[in-house]
C-alpha cells in the first residue's frame, strides 16, 4: 500500500485501484530489499491513456516513482535498477517496530482462529516390534504436534495402534498352547516377537491350527474372557516396548488403538448401509468411491471387520464426537490410497465437509539402506527401531570420546573438562537421538532417504551435531563477552538498528512467524530446519563483529 500511495502521488491521473503491486525479495540479501516491476506494469497498462504526461518509457516512469517525495514510514529508499525495475528498501523504524512487537509478545504466534487438530502418528502394530517404518511417523508426528502447539492449536496426539484383527487369533492360540500358565509365568518381552513369528509359521502350514485360530478371532470379538485376557497381556508386553522408545525420544502420545472402536463397528456398518452406499461384492460389503478402482471394504466375506472399518469409525469419532477441525494422518506414502478412500468415504457419509474440516494424509517416503534398497538388517528383516537408537548413541559416544582424547593431547580445543562415564553416556544419548531426529526432519518428507550414520553425525554438515555445536559456540561467545543476552540489543527497552548486520539478523528473525505458518500449512517441517540453519549461520558470521562493536561503544 505504501507503493500504491507513491504511484498515486506521482501519477494522480491514474485510475485508482486499477493495478496490483508485485514484490519479490531479493534472494540471498537479507536486508529488507525488494524488487518490483510496478513501473513497467503500469506503463504498459496505461500508456495509451495519456496519464504519464511527457514520460515516454517505463524507465522514465520508474525514475519519476523513485524521485517522488512521499511521507512514508515504511519505505526508506526507492531506487531505479535496470530496465525500469525498482528496488525498495524498508525503513529501519518500521523493522524495529515489527521486531519489538514480535519480541514483546514473547515470540507468541498470532493465531487467528484456534483449531482442534488430531494428529494420528507412530501407530505401530501389536506383537510386531516397531521398525524403521515407524521411525519417520514417530519423529515427524511428534514434531508437527509441537509446532502446532506452539502456534496455540489444541492438539490431540493419537496412537492408532494395530491392536485388533485376525492376527490375534493365531497369537492367542499359540500363547495358550505354549504358555498355558502365562498368567503366572509371562513370556519375556523379547519372546513376543518370536511368538508372532512362530504363530505365523504354524498358521501358514498347520491347517488345524489355522481353523482353531479363526475360532479364536470370533471368540475375541465376542469378548470371551479367556481370549480378552490373553489379548490384554500381549498388548501390554508390546506397550512396554513402545514406551521405552517414546521415553527416549521424548514423544507424548495417547493410545486410541483399533480396538477402541470395536464396539461401534456394527453401527458404523449399519449407518453406511442405511445411507445406501454399500454394495455386496462376493459376500463382502464394499463402498465404491468415484474415480477409484479399489473400493473400501468394510465387512470381509467371512463377516469380519478390518483396517478400513476401524478407520471409518475413527474418522466419524474424531470429526463428530471430538469435534476436530483438522485431521492429520502420518504413514508412508504407500497408504496414500487407503486414506484417500477413507476421506472420500467420510464425505459420502456426510461426516466430513471439506469446507469445515481438513483431512490430510501427511505421507512420507521410505528409509533406505546404504545399498539404496529398503532398509533391512543383515538377516533380511526390517531394522528394529530400538537398534537404530542404540547404534547412533554408540557412534556418538565414540565420537565424543575421540574428541576428548584429542583435547587432552592438545590437538583440538584446549578447553573441555573431564566427563564422568555417566555424563559421557548422557551426552551420547542426546547427540545420537538428536542426530537421527534432525536428519529425519530436514528431509523433504515425500522423498526416500538413505539412513547414513556418518552423515547424521557429521560435525560439519547440516546436522544436529553442527547445530548444537553452533549454539554452544554462540552462547559461549556471548558469555565471554560479559554482556548479558539480548538485553544488549535493546536501547531504552526498544530494539534499535544501528548496523547493517543488525538489519540482516532482524530480517531473518522477522521471517519466523511466516515460516511457522507455512510449515503447518504445507506440513513441511524441513522449511523450519532450513530457517534455523540460515539463522545460526548468520549469527556465527556476524555475531562476533557485532559484539565487538557493542563492547567498544
Ligand atoms: N498401524 C498402521 C501401520 O503400521 C498405521 C496406522 C495409521 N493410522 C490409521 N488411522 N490408519 O501401518
Specify the CATH number for the domain of residue 138.
Answer: 3.40.50.620
Do 402 and 444 reside in the same domain of the chain? Answer: yes
ipTM tops the 0.90 cut: yes
Do 243 and 263 reside in the same domain of the chain? Answer: no
- Mean pLDDT value across residues 81-100: 86
For ligand 1, whether the C-beta of 385 sits within 6 Å is no
For ligand 1, whether the C-beta of 314 sits within 6 Å is yes
Q: Residue 366's closest CA among 376, 356, 355, 378?
A: 376
For the segment 201-222, what is each residue's pLDDT rounded down to a tens digit?
A: 999 999 999 999 989 988 998 8
Q: Is residue 356 part of a domain?
A: yes
Do 311 and 383 reside in the same domain of the chain? Answer: no
Do 263 and 345 reside in the same domain of the chain? Answer: yes
Q: Residue 199's closest CA among 127, 91, 261, 119?
A: 127
Q: Is residue 352 part of a domain?
A: yes
Q: Output the residue whose Cα is nearest ligand 1's atom 6.
A: 123
Do 24 and 6 reside in the same domain of the chain? Answer: yes
Q: Is residue 290 part of a domain?
A: yes
What ligand 1 atom has the least distance to the C-alpha of 125?
1
The percent of residues above 90 in pLDDT, for the chain, comes to 53
For the segment 305-348, what is each residue's pLDDT rounded down to a tens digit?
A: 999 999 999 999 999 999 999 999 999 999 999 999 999 999 99
Structure confidence at residue 509 as a pLDDT band (50, 70, 90): confident
Identify whether the C-beta of residue 31 lies closer than 8 Å to the C-beta of residue 79: no
Alpha helices in 179-224 (DSSP H): 189-205, 207-221
Q: Output the residue whose Cα is nearest ligand 1's atom 5.
A: 123
Structural domain ending residue among the three candidates 184, 215, 250:
250
Q: Round the average pLDDT of the chain to a whole number and report it.
A: 89
Do 295 and 426 reside in the same domain of the chain? Answer: no
Do 177 and 217 reside in the same domain of the chain? Answer: yes
Identify whether the C-beta of residue 287 lies closer than 8 Å to the C-beta of residue 272: yes
Do 295 and 157 reside in the same domain of the chain? Answer: yes
* Ligand 1: centre distance to CA 162 (Å): 7
Identify whether the C-beta of residue 542 lies closer than 8 Å to the C-beta of residue 474: no
Measured CA to CA, the distance from residue 237 to residue 248 in angstroms comes to 18
- Mean pLDDT value across residues 431-435: 97
Residue 474: pLDDT above 70? yes
Do 178 and 209 reside in the same domain of the chain? Answer: yes
Q: Is residue 11 part of a domain?
A: yes
Do 275 and 349 reside in the same domain of the chain? Answer: yes
Q: Output the residue whose Cα is nearest ligand 1's atom 8.
A: 160
Do 322 and 264 reside in the same domain of the chain? Answer: yes
* Ligand 1: centre distance to CA 160 (Å): 6
Q: Is residue 109 part of a domain?
A: no
284: containing domain: 119-163+257-364
Question: Cα angle at 135 between 369 and 197, to 5 degrees?
Answer: 80
Q: Is residue 7 part of a domain?
A: yes
Q: Residue 170's closest CA among 131, 220, 229?
A: 220
332, 335, 336, 363, best to mutate for ligand 1 pocket (most atoms within 8 Å of CB): 335
What ligand 1 atom has the least distance to the C-alpha of 331?
7
Amino acid at each position: 500500500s505504501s507503493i500504491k500511495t507513491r504511484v498515486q502521488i506521482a501519477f494522480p491521473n491514474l485510475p485508482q485501484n486499477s493495478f496490483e503491486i508485485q514484490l519479490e525479495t531479493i534472494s540471498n540479501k537479507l536486508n529488507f530489499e525488494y524488487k518490483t516491476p510496478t513501473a513497467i506494469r503500469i506503463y504498459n497498462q496505461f500508456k495509451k491513456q495519456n496519464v504519464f504526461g511527457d514520460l515516454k518509457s517505463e524507465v522514465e516512469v520508474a525514475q519519476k516513482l523513485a524521485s517522488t517525495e512521499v511521507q512514508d514510514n515504511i519505505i526508506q529508499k526507492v531506487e531505479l535498477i535496470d530496465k525500469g525495475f525498482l528496488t525498495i528498501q524498508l525503513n529501519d523504524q518500521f523493522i524495529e517496530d515489527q521486531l519489538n512487537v514480535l519480541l514483546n509478545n514473547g515470540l507468541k504466534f498470532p493465531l487467528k482462529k484456534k483449531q482442534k487438530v488430531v494428529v494420528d502418528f507412530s501407530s505401530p502394530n501389536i506383537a510386531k516390534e516397531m521398525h524403521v517404518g515407524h521411525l519417520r511417523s514417530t519423529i515427524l508426528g511428534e514434531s508437527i504436534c509441537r509446532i502446532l502447539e506452539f502456534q496455540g492449536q489444541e492438539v490431540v496426539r493419537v496412537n492408532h495402534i494395530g491392536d485388533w484383527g485376525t492376527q490375534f487369533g493365531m497369537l492367542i492360540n499359540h500363547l495358550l498352547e505354549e504358555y498355558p500358565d502365562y498368567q503366572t509365568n509371562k513370556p519375556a518381552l523379547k519372546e513376543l516377537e518370536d511368538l508372532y513369528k512362530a504363530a505365523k509359521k504354524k498358521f501358514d502350514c498347520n491347517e488345524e491350527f489355522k481353523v482353531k485360530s479363526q475360532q479364536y478371532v470370533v471368540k475375541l470379538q465376542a469378548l470371551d474372557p479367556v481370549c480378552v485376557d490373553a489379548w490384554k497381556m500381549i498388548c501390554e508386553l508390546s506397550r512396554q516396548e513402545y514406551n521405552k522408545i517414546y521415553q527416549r525420544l521424548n514423544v507424548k502420545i495417547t493410545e486410541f488403538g483399533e480396538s477402541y472402536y470395536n464396539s461401534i463397528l456394527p453401527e458404523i456398518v449399519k449407518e453406511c448401509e442405511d445411507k445406501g452406499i454399500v454394495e455386496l461384492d462376493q459376500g463382502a460389503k464394499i463402498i465404491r468411491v468415484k474415480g477409484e478402482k479399489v473400493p473400501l471394504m468394510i465387512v470381509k466375506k467371512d463377516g469380519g471387520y478390518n483396517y478400513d472399518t476401524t478407520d471409518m469409525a475413527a474418522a466419524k469419532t474424531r470429526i463428530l464426537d471430538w469435534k476436530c477441525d483438522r485431521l492429520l494422518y502420518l504413514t508412508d506414502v504407500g497408504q496414500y490410497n487407503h486414506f484417500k478412500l477413507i476421506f472420500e468415504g467420510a464425505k459420502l457419509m456426510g461426516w466430513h465437509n471439506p469446507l469445515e474440516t481438513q483431512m490430510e494424509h501427511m505421507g512420507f517416503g521410505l528409509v533406505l539402506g546404504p545399498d539404496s534398497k529398503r532398509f533391512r538388517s543383515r538377516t533380511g528383516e526390517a531394522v528394529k527401531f530400538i537398534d537404530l537408537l542404540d547404534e547412533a548413541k554408540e557412534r556418538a559416544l565414540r565420537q565424543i570420546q575421540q574428541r576428548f582424547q584429542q583435547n587432552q593431547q592438545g590437538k583440538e580445543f584446549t578447553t573441555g573438562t573431564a566427563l564422568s562415564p555417566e555424563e559421557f553416556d548422557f551426552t551420547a544419548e542426546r547427540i545420537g537421538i538428536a542426530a537421527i531426529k534432525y536428519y529425519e526432519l530436514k528431509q523433504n518428507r515425500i522423498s526416500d532417504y538413505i539412513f547414513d550414520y556418518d552423515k547424521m553425525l557429521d560435525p560439519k554438515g547440516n546436522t544436529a551435531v553442527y547445530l548444537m555445536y553452533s549454539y554452544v559456540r554462540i552462547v559461549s561467545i556471548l558469555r565471554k563477552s560479559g554482556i548479558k543476552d539480548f538485553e544488549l540489543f535493546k536501547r531504552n527497552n526498544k530494539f534499535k538498528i544501528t548496523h547493517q548486520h543488525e538489519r540482516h539478523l532482524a530480517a531473518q528473525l522477522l521471517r519466523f512467524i511466516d515460516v511457522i505458518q507455512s510449515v503447518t500449512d504445507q506440513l513441511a517441517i524441513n522449511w523450519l530446519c532450513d530457517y534455523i540453519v540460515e539463522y545460526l549461520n548468520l549469527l556465527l558470521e556476524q555475531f562476533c563483529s557485532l559484539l565487538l562493536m557493542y563492547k567498544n561503544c
